[in-house]
Structure 1
Amino acid sequence: MATEALPTGQDVLNAARRLHGHVLRTPVLRNDALDEIAGAKLWFKCENLQTTGSFKIRGATNRLLQLSPAQREKGVVAFSSGNHAQGIARAAKNFRMPALIVMPSDAPAIKVEGVRRDGAEIRLYDREHESREEIAAEETEKRGATLVPSFDDPYIIAGQGSAGVEFGQQMRDANTQLDHIICCAGGGGLITGLALGYRQFDPDISIWTAEPEAHDDWRRSLAADRIEVNAPGTRSICDAILTPSPGKLTWALGRELLAGGCAVCDDRIEEAMRLAFRHLKLVVEPGGAAALACALFDLPEAAKGKSVGVVLSGGNVDPAQYARILAD
């Protein structure tokens, strides 16, 4: 696969085989109480229980497996608010490679601690006044390292798509056909990879993006059939999925593979986190709960009464923030 080529379904199947033994096969759960709220039969793919607490270890590991011995010796550089950072840090540790992660100074403490625990170097920056891309480019050149983007890379997309392959296998084993899947969308690496992977089992599946309504670039882009950008300074509690717009590669895939977008306010996302704790006994971070919130409170009309897959993409929530949300 050429560096900038769009990944294919076969690339995702290859990545799933390559990642066997490197990542967890996360469970799929059900809950009748949440079905009743949603008005649909929901199946939860629990990537919040993945190694490092999110799906990001999949793409990170698949990307690092492509590096030559000489490249591994020089190490990698990445920029991320947290989950990609932790995925890269853990994968680099597993392969005994140096890693530098450029992280915003306001990143959740639990994500910063996770990166440090895995031995990666951290460079903090001010997201209001500094460019993470410029910092990462400078560090990459200085070190002779490999820059590993968080989503707009074919190997990252293919690796994330291994979650879709797993989900398809698990639904096949359950003798159940999903009609729809709802998945969070930031840069789009997970949802487009997931679409490629799951479509190997069901080419007719309808897949919907989930976003906070103040940061709904995917929903607007899919509706307009062109890339839409979020206004500068827009914020949400969903730190993990606050990218300015879809990526170049992910948009090229998403406009062909995705059915449309859903979006809910932060209050609904917090309610979804409480419901996940109450009914599933799961810790889900705000960005990871966006798909659940959309399934419960903004389910597409076509999905009502149907079987709907919901991807719980991460569980790395700041403890103080989570305690406040549960107490509300």
Structure 2
Amino acid sequence: RLKEKVEETFGCEYELVTEFTGLISWSRGASIGWHSDDNRPYLKQRDFTAVCYLNSYGKDFEGGLFHFQDGEPKTIAPMVGDAVIYTADGRNTHSVDEVTSGERLTLTLWFSRDSSHDEDAKLILLLEENVLHKSNNVPWSLLPLPASDNMYWFSPHQASNQDIGFDIRLGRLHALGFDVYYSRDMNFGSDLSELLMEPMQLARRDQLLDHKFVNVLHSLQVGEYVNLYDEQVAQFYFWEGCKSQAFTNEVQSGKAVRLSRSQSEKITRVNSVFLKDTKLVETVFQSAGQCYFNLATFSAAITEWEDYSCKLHKEILLSLPQWRAHQAIYSVKFDV
């Protein structure tokens, strides 16, 4: 219905396609300066934008006001249930004030006249390749599917290169007290941009956790599941009230090992490439405070998440023929 409203409002002669859908969390300190939504070469296919507000200014967060550079209204105070639609080009240059407290949540959809950028069609193709045509089909090794690398880089003032800023995947882990470790040998003079989608482990302080993840997105998705798994978990793998001795016991039991010098050097090298501005990381992401890591909760959450992934994998297998036939992703009901 939202796409139809955009088509009606702007008098589109042809049906639009959804180019990208983003569920965006703006934490304290997050903001964005004046820009248009097609301001990068790889975004020129974007014609229209719809921003849906999932919570309210003044109740759920402070700051985060939306401003248009020209025209009316100049300023929009987000309220849950409201949506703002506009052209994605320079006619609607806009900005968002810094969020000073709370969390600002938006669901943003970008639409294109170019059907070759249809998000659903691309996702269906990826799912076919990853779910149907892989012999070693382990459900939790296939999800989540990554976006392009440039979607994960955060830099101030919309800088067009990666000389400043940080990768938001590593940034979030770092703010929570974790680093990532890759066991394979790295040529420090080579391009490491593909590294983050390779198998990895998490490190905390001077300890390397035993569990191996398919990629950094896998570790982040398991972390999100921890929030659902245990109400006592503040965020990611932290558990308030857990004593630091618990982590020491896990190290002694073999679930974590002390980092060697060479392992620490690899972590430092990765951080130098993907975390160029740690102060900016701390501004954008808020830490969980003085909480302690609980590996028992972490391990249980991994088991729960893998069970969920298996269930989701089966649903995708059943739904994919319908999605492929209609070239659209939607909820498919099955007779029980």
TM-score (norm 2): 0.26
Quick check: which one's helix share is greater? 1
Larger radius of gyration: 2
Relative contact order higher in (CA < 8 Å, ≥ 6 apart): 1
TM-score (norm 1): 0.27
Quick check: which one's strand share is greater? 2
